[in-house]
Amino acid sequence: MIIDFHTHAFPDALAQRAMAGLVGAVHEADMGFPEIMYSDGTAKGLTDSMDRAGVDISVLLPVATKPSQPKSINEWAGEFAKKDPRIIPFGAFFPDDTFEEQLEALAQSGHKGIKLHGDFQGFYADEERMIKIYRRCGEYGLICVMHAGLDCISPRDIHVTPERMARVLDKVSGVRFVLAHMGGNCLEDRAAELLAGAEGLWVDTAYAAGRLSPDKMAELISAFGADRVLFASDSPWNDPADDIRLIRETPISEEERQGILHKNAEMLLGLSQ
Q: Which pLDDT tens digit goes with each residue over 141-190? A: 999 999 999 887 777 899 999 999 999 999 999 999 999 999 999 999 99
Residue 141 is which amino acid? G
- Peptide bond before residue 67 is cis, with ω within 30 degrees of 0: no
Residue 30 binned pLDDT confidence (cut-offs 50, 70, 90): low
Mutual orientation of helices 188-195 and 162-171 as an angle, nearest 10°? Answer: 20
pLDDT value, residue 153: 75
**Beta strands across the sheet bearing 87-89:** 3-7, 57-60, 87-89
Q: How far apart are CA 96 and CA 67, in angstroms?
A: 7
Among 12-16, 86-90, 135-139, 230-234, the least confident range: 12-16
Average pLDDT over residues 32-41: 69
Contact call for residues 166 and 183 (beta carbons, < 8 A)? no
The mean pLDDT value of the chain amounts to: 92
Contact call for residues 255 and 225 (beta carbons, < 8 A)? no
Q: How far apart are CA 82 and CA 88, in angstroms?
A: 10
Whether 244 shows a pLDDT value over 60: the answer reads yes
Whether 263 shows a pLDDT value over 90: the answer reads yes
pLDDT value, residue 154: 76
Q: Which pLDDT tens digit goes with each residue over 211-243? A: 899 999 999 999 999 999 999 999 998 899 999
pLDDT value, residue 27: 47
For the chain, domains (ranges, CATH) are 3-269 (3.20.20.140)
Q: Pick from 73, 5, 66, 3: which is nearest to 43 by CA? A: 73
pLDDT value, residue 140: 98
Average pLDDT over residues 111-120: 96
CA–CA distances in Å: residue 235 to residues 15, 99, 104, 130: 13, 27, 28, 27
Q: Hey, which residues does 144 pair with through a beta bridge?
A: 114, 177
For CA atoms 38, 83, 71, 264, the dihedral sign is negative
Mutual orientation of helices 240-249 and 214-224 as an angle, nearest 10°? Answer: 80
Whether 22 shows a pLDDT value over 60: the answer reads no
Kindly give the residue spans of alpha helices, DSSP state H, lying in 54-161: 70-83, 99-108, 118-121, 128-140
Share of the chain above pLDDT 90, in %: 82
Tell me the CA end-to-end span of the chain in Å, nearest whole number: 16
Furthest CA-CA distance within the chain? 46
In sequence order, the 6+-apart residues with CB closer than 8 A to the CB of 27 are 35
Which stretch of DSSP H or E encloses residue 243?
Answer: helix 240-249
